[in-house]
Chain A
Amino acid sequence: MTSADPVLLLGEQRLRAGARARRRVVSPVIWLAFAVMAGVLLMALFGALLAPQSPSAQHLAIVDAPPSGAHWLGTDALGRDVLSRVIAGARTAFFGPLVIAAASFVLGNLLGLLAGYRGGLADAVIMRWVDFMWSLPSLVILVVVAGTVGSSYWLAVAVLIVLTVPFDTRVIRGATLEQVPRPYVEAAKTLGVPRWKIMLFHIWPNVSPVAVANTCLVFAGSLVTLAGLEFLGLGLPPGIPDWGLMLSQNEALLFTNPLATIAPGAMIVLTAIAMNLIGDWLYELLTSRGAGR
């Protein structure tokens, strides 16, 4: 602020103080998002122990039943307990996206730093490749891979890593470009610090907030894409409890036990929205802190 008007300055200070206070108070929505993710993590780790019944036990006498005391969310077409399957389904919904987010984090950060810091040919090649990958519809690629090579969950995860890395790369490159002209980089160069050290130990700590926030969005995106693939029946074998798979298997039960379809669908949306909210929140929190320095 260049204004010398004391009243304006005071107003400005108050505004800043207000913004700081607001930032420190974590909104209840974010707490809720963290609670949802904690719940999903617990379900993914200890699904079999938490489930009230075996997710694969078939009770053919009570097929397709509405909610009852014994089956809180009813049963599906094979008489399996929907609640237990929803809890057990957290495993495939959590670990696949986690692997994708982690691998894409590492590769995307390396490539993004390289493109942003080195510039020149490396930048041109990496960014051309990123631009090309950017406009690819990932789920369609997964469907084609499943159709030619065969459907497999971990193959889909591997393909999604390749398709997601450009997303991270682009964000990290942008953040790196902002850091390169800063004096500390110039200073490190003058002191003769090796390039890889400047990239990893000088620049990366300053772009890492963006990287962390971005990873949450990658997690949510891969969760939704993987669930879509399971919904199409091209990811997991039919017996495995999985939210996307349940949605397609139980769609015919909408008339008799709609909860068997709505519950897994709600879990997909809830988990994705929680992760997106955390990502947005982290982004605002970390980047505004960085800007204040």
Chain B
Amino acid sequence: MSGRGLLVFVLRRLVVLALLLIVISFVTFSLLYISPGNLIDILLGARPHTAATVRALTREYHLNKPFLVQYWLWARQAVQLRFGTSIQTSLSVTGEIGARLPLTMFLGIYSFVLTMVFGIGFGVISALRRGGIVDRGLVGAAMLGLSTPAFVAGVALLYVFAIKVRWFPAYGVGTGFLNEFWHLTLPAVALAVTTVAYVSRHTRAAMIGTLDQDYVVFARARGLSSRRVLFTYLLRNALIPVITISGVILSSLIVGVVLVEVAFSLPGLGSLLVTAATTKDIPVLQGVVLLFAVVIVVANLLADVIYMVVDPRIRVGERAT
């Protein structure tokens, strides 16, 4: 595919992305209005209801202006990464998110690496040993992994590896890279259980499909080394389906992060979201939701671009189904 075609594709997707973000931000802003009860009461939280506080809130949230004007003013601030202050802590939402973002990113990237390495690894081994005892074991394990939600896996790992054999700490985040790595290993594994199972199932199916292809049989017949057949013929083709499921992997990781952070009492974005939901802290809720939405939308665009770069058979404008 020509470089220009790719550019047009990316530009077109960027327009769609911008429209999507506008819709998402509108829905996110409306959360304040969907919430039942008096707006002022919601925004006040536990603070005293006096004429001065009401006036301050009305000014801060432009409550005396029309709805669409309020949205516009809110969106303009949101673009500058300002989402107001938390009702519960009176700290700025951006500050709260910023303080918790590194932990969640560390956890997410750690799990993502685990997912790719073990998901693809197990899938490939399974396909090459198709029908054997290793394959059957891995297929069974994948079934178990798919049916185990992150919080159950988290509590089980906590019990076995932090309480029974004490290899890993039961709580805390640690300081310094290595210490943090050690503290976050159990949460990251719990988070990766479902995604590893999902990726390995897809990799296995794609590998089995590729193994039966004529060009693989011919490559073998030519006497190419099995390593060369595996890496240049099999893996490249088998990995394409894995890119197509990246959206599902990401949303599964985001769901998992929320559950795992609560299960391990980690101060990350997921636990921030749950605390905000429990205490009806709408500004925090809006900030976290918008961040997650942007990550999902941008990641899906990236996946589409990677997909097109990796697989030259896909033409611009054609939708992959």
- Interface membership of B305, Cβ < 8 A: no
- Report B207-265 residues with CB < 8 Å from chain A CB: 247-248, 250-252, 254-255, 258-259, 262-263
**Does any Cβ of B come within 8 Å of A126's Cβ?**
no
A-side contacts of B149, CB under 8 Å: 224-225, 227-228, 231, 268-269, 272
A185 within 8 A of B: no
Q: A137-B251, A140-B254, A228-B259 are in contact. Are A147 and B152 (CB under 8 A)?
A: no
Residue A144, interface by CB 8 Å: yes
Assess whether B155 is interfacial by the CB under 8 Å rule. Answer: yes
A143 to B273, CA, bound (A): 8
The answer for the CA separation of A234 and B280 in the assembled complex, in Å, is 11
Q: Which residues of B contact A234 (CB under 8 A)?
A: 274, 277-278
Contact A269 B35 (CB under 8 A): no
Considering only residues 154-186 of chain B, those with a C-beta below 8 Å from chain A are 155-156, 158-159, 163
Cβ B255 vs Cβ A138 within 8 A: yes
Partner of A139, one of B146, B156, B258: B258
Docked pose: A137 CA to B280 CA in angstroms? 20
A68 within 8 A of B: no
- Chain A contacts for B263, CB-based, 8 A: 231, 248, 251
A232 touching B143, Cβ below 8 Å: no
Q: Which residue of B lies closest to A137 (CB)?
A: B251
Residues on A with beta carbons closer than 8 Å to the beta carbon of B148? 269, 272
* Cβ distance A150 to chain B, nearest Cβ, rounded Å: 7
Given contacts A137-B252, A143-B277, A276-B146, contact A268 B152 (CB under 8 A): yes
Band of interface residues on B: 35 or more
Chain A neighbourhood of B262, CB < 8 A = 231-232, 248
Complex Cα distance, B289 from A139, in Å, reads 12
Taking a contact as CB atoms closer than 8 A, the residue among A144, A227, A231, A247 that contacts B31 in the complex is A144
Q: Which residues 169-223 of A have a CB within 8 angstroms of B?
A: 220
Restricting to A105-142, which residues have a CB under 8 Å from any CB of B? 132, 134-140
Whether A41 sits at the interface, judged by CB under 8 Å, is: no
- Asked if A231 and B273 make an inter-chain contact with CB atoms under 8 angstroms apart, the answer reads no
Residue A233 at the B interface, CB < 8 A? yes
Contact A148-B259, Cβ < 8 Å, known A227-B149, A228-B149: no
User: CB distance B258 to A140 under 8 Å?
Assistant: yes
Q: Is the CB of B36 within 8 A of A149?
A: yes
Taking A144-B289, A251-B263, A265-B152 as contacts, is the C-beta distance between A228 and B280 under 8 angstroms?
A: no
Contacts of A149 in B (CB 8 A): 34-36
Q: How far is the CA of A202 from the CA of B26 in the complex (A)?
A: 43
Query: Is there contact, CB below 8 Å, between B163 and A254?
Result: yes
Which residues of chain A come closer than 8 Å to B163, judged between CB atoms?
254-255, 258
A262 near B: Cβ within 8 Å?
Answer: yes
Q: Are B255 and A147 in contact (CB under 8 A)?
A: no
Cross-chain pairs A/B with CB under 8 angstroms, 25 sampled: A135-B251, A135-B300, A137-B251, A140-B254, A143-B273, A147-B276, A147-B285, A148-B35, A224-B149, A228-B255, A228-B259, A231-B151, A232-B259, A232-B277, A233-B278, A244-B151, A247-B151, A247-B152, A248-B151, A248-B262, A251-B158, A261-B155, A265-B156, A269-B148, A269-B149
Measured CB to CB, the residues of B under 8 A from A are 20, 31-32, 34-36, 143-144, 146-152, 155-156, 158-159, 163, 247-248, 250-252, 254-255, 258-259, 262-263, 273-274, 276-278, 280-282, 285, 289, 292, 296, 300
A→B interface (CB under 8 Å) = 132, 134-140, 143-144, 146-150, 220, 224-225, 227-228, 231-234, 244, 247-248, 251, 254-255, 258, 261-262, 265, 268-269, 272-273, 276-277, 280
Knowing that A134-B247, A148-B282 touch, tell me 11 more A-B residue pairs with CB under 8 angstroms. Answer: A148-B32, A225-B149, A227-B152, A231-B263, A251-B155, A254-B158, A254-B163, A261-B155, A261-B159, A268-B149, A269-B144
